[in-house]
Chain A
Amino acid sequence: MSDSAESPTETQKEEIHPPPDDSATNDDKKKIDVLLKAVGDTPIMKTKKWAVDKGRTVQSLAQFISRFLKLDATEQLFIYVNQSFAPSPDQEVGVLFDCFGSDGKLVLHYCKSQAWG
């Protein structure tokens, strides 16, 4: 997956775990556009805009971001919608898009923390 990290992200989009023969449009495959924004001193992802299956859960997305950022196993990643609210880990991103999406995308803020200990 080529990734020109310094270029603007508006036109650059990656898909999370696309199936091998995926060549369909977002509508056909029911994906939504997600824009990921880092909070605090959480590392910023080089690729911020992603096409994500509507049925994907917040938990799954958090795990993806954690792996992408190579976070330590004890670091907790929190995801927020509306800049203030942590949706349930089982919540589907498609539902979040329906509630909070604007301009055709869902903005999610993510933040890492040593939540315990």
Chain B
Amino acid sequence: MSCGVLDEEEFSRCCQLLLHHSDSVGDGWSWEAVQSSDEGYLKKTVLRSVPADQSITQKHKESGSDSEQFDYCRFKTEEQGVNGSADSLRPDVEDEDDCVCRAPGGSSCSSVLQFEYHVLYSCSYRTPVLYFRASTLGRSLTLEDVWNSVHPNYRLGLQSRPLDAITQQEHPFLGQAFFFLHPCRTEEFMKPLLQMTWDQNRPVNYVLSWLSVVGPMVGLDVSLDYVTLQQPTV
């Protein structure tokens, strides 16, 4: 691990350590091997209740508060239609700056979505990448559901470049449409963290640290148990 990236062997090693720990705390991660090779990815399935009616009622707030009401879905009109499920969101222009997306005819009841998270290795970026999708009876994840699962803490940063941050992508191994969190900045935010830990001679699990940062951005909780219990270092 150096300069904010890692090679595939280190990725696999970190994943195995994470799996070992996941097993001991019952966190539900598994390893999906690819064609009986060493190559593979981490996978976890989570059930989450999502309110079906996601009509937006609030204007954008600069400072964020601890309030539970948030702007769930904001796009710049000029950035529409790049890729992904454009046909599942209908922008309504609320003011001169932003448009707001509403759930297509949603009810006021909540639905249970099954989220699937996959951690793959990106050879081009030399970092892990988080793929995810969700499904429920009769309905697959829309981009709006994706935004609903983004923690408000990260929403503002993601909203400034939403279509670069979360996009639809073909899963490299499954060939199915997934959402994924773009890895272009991973090296940048991992680098100072790794540098700090290496300076203090306490190497860490790259994948675990990375996951703890990006997971909450897409509704994936990474338990403190991974750090509070003794674990072998890389």
Contact = CB atoms under 8 A, between A and B. Distances in A.
Contacts of A91: 224
Contacts of B200: 83
Nearest to B64: A63
A40 B199 CA distance: 11
B196 A89 contact: no
A85 B153 CA distance: 16
Contacts of A86: 209, 212-213, 216, 222
A39 B216 contact: no
A79 to B, nearest CB: 10
Given A95-B224, A116-B164, A73 B156 contact: yes
Interface in B107-162: 151-154, 156-158, 160-161
A74 interface: yes
B192 A74 contact: no
Interface residues of B, number: 40
Contact of B189 (A78, A88, A89, A95): A78
B165 A116 contact: yes
B contact patch SS: helix
A47 interface: no
Contacts of A75: 157
Interface stretch (A1-9, A23-31, A54-62): A54-62
Nearest to A111: B192
Nearest to A84: B204
A105 interface: no
Contact of A89 (B153, B161, B228): B153
B153 A74 contact: no
A13 interface: no
A84 B66 contact: no
Contact of B191 (A40, A78, A89): A40
A23 to B, nearest CB: 25
B216 A109 contact: no
A54 to B, nearest CB: 15
A19 interface: no
Contacts of A115: 154, 157, 185, 188-189
A114 B188 contact: yes
Given A113-B185, A117-B160, A117-B161, A80 B224 contact: no
Nearest to B154: A76
B43 interface: no
A73 to B, nearest CB: 6
Given A39-B193, A82-B227, A89 B160 contact: no
Given A76-B157, A85-B204, 12 more contacts: A41-B192, A58-B153, A78-B193, A81-B227, A86-B212, A86-B213, A86-B216, A89-B154, A95-B224, A100-B228, A117-B160, A117-B161
14 contacts: A39-B196, A40-B195, A76-B157, A83-B197, A84-B208, A85-B224, A86-B213, A88-B216, A89-B151, A90-B151, A99-B227, A111-B192, A113-B185, A116-B182
Top 6 closest pairs, chain A to chain B, by CB: A40-B192, A117-B161, A89-B153, A84-B204, A113-B189, A86-B212
